[in-house]
Amino acid sequence: MIEDPMLLWAIVGGASGMILGLAGTGGGVIALPLLMTLGGYDVKTASAYGLLSLSVAAALNWMIRRHDTHYLIVAVLVLMAAPVAYVATPLKALSPEWVIVVLLNLTCLFSLYSLWVLRKAKDQGEVRPLSYQLKTATIGGIFTGFLSTMTGLGGGVVVIPWLTGITRLSFPQALACSLLTICLIAPFAASRQVDINLTPGAWMSLVGGVCLTAFLVKKVTSRIPAPTMTVINKLSLTIVTLCTMGRTLWTLF
């Protein structure tokens, strides 16, 4: 285990930035097994602290994609996710660790299904009535609040397929809305679960690690053809997700 918090969070931030640069998401997925293995945290605590890494990675990614944001839908998502996250916190505290592990792994399985089957980046969406979009976004916000609190994965694995398949936003819009929602909900959900006592140095290590490695990876991969990069995106996120599933399931045996 690593006892120096600055080094620990530099590694977590660097890994989160790397998977962010490769896959455009996944900050919570990679942070969780690293915090368990290198930080010595249990599943519940690691999933809570992993939300901090997730929020930093999501904020950076959203800044790049902010022009695609549907702010009214984000407002609905946040308004629904926040109270659900508030209520889910004591539920998580009362739940046995195996329940969190099972829920986390089911979410990971859905993430892989969404990545390889449901996610269609070229889907242009449909123009649906605003009332319909807001109603469906309400349900998506409930899923986001619950999953971000219980698993530390942010809820984007459910929200993006929901916004594209049900609300019928385009993939870029759904991604931007999901990222901004997670930016706002993840720190709130984390603060409800643990006392966030990171030093300024640890925060700088986390933010710097995410930004630096994400920039470097994007720079290195900028000349790779788009079809090839799509395969790399999916494979990298799949490998990280499988590692997270293996590390958390190990705690059950």
Domain segments of the chain as ranges = 5-250
Q: How do residues 147-197 score in pLDDT, each as one tens digit?
A: 989 998 876 778 888 898 899 998 889 888 998 999 999 999 999 898 888
CA 49 to chain centre: 12
Alpha helices in the chain (DSSP H): 5-23, 27-39, 43-65, 71-94, 97-113, 130-151, 156-165, 171-193, 200-221, 226-250
Q: Which residue matches tokens 């009214």? A: 72
Q: pLDDT at residue 85 above 90?
A: yes
Question: What pTM was estimated for this model as a whole?
Answer: 0.89
Model pLDDT for residues 94-120, shown as the tens digit of each residue: 999 999 999 999 999 988 888 888 766
How far separated are the first and last CA of the chain, in Å rounded? 20
Under 8 Å between Cβ of 180 and 81: no
Give the mean pLDDT of 53-79. 92
For the chain, the average pLDDT equals 90
